[in-house]
Amino acid sequence: MKFSNPLELKLCITNYAVKNGYDLWYEKTNHERLLVKCCKGKTNKQGKGCPFRLWATCMSNEKSFQIKSLNDMHNCSRVFKFGSIVTYKWIAKHFMNYILQKPKMSIRKLKAKANKKFNLIASVGQCRHARKYAFQEIEGTLKEHYAKTWSYGEEIRMTNPGSTVKMDVDVMLDGTTYFSKF
């Protein structure tokens, strides 16, 4: 399987771990290689650890990140605390629309929603950071869109000859301009 970068693969691995309840962890990770194992340091009654192992590397001849070897057998039980594999960014990406619809939602409600939807134990800190990250992502995309309003106006003038486009902006005391109306 091919991926454009290690982050894309990590997202898939995290989704897999949460869906199935596996305690995966990254033994080696950087922009060129990724080694994922299960049940860090834990052994079963026979003294053996979980045999799951995923090895992926960057391909030098083509610009892709590929899984080289995969042993997808597990002999471990389900976990509900995922440690470092479930991050606040992962939670924020899954609840971005929900946070956008209900921006005044409490962190505890977000925690309860994440716990119920994914059957995991998310911390209050993770949910706090996830909410903050989601707001930063939303605000960043809004700033990018508002920065393009002049281009939008010019495009309307070019595609609709004879039309009038008026844009109103508010100029602040520090010299920054903010879009008001179109």
Query: Would you kindly state where each structural domain of the chain is located, as residue ranges?
Result: 1-80, 148-181
pLDDT for position 22: 86
Give the list of residues 6+ apart from residue 167 with CB closer than 8 angstroms, or none. 149, 150, 153, 179, 181, 182
Per-residue model confidence (pLDDT) at position 127? 92
User: Which residue stretches of the chain have pLDDT < 70?
Assistant: 41, 43-47, 83
Instruction: Name which of 153, 150, 137 is nearest 177 in CA terms.
Output: 150
**pTM for this prediction:** 0.66
Phi, psi of 91 (to 5 degrees): -65, -45
Q: Residue 43's pLDDT is what?
A: 65
Give residue 142's identity as a one-letter amino acid code.
Answer: L
Pairing of strands 53-59, 64-71: antiparallel
* CB of 140 closer than 8 Å to CB of 130: no
Q: Give the number of residues written for the chain.
A: 182
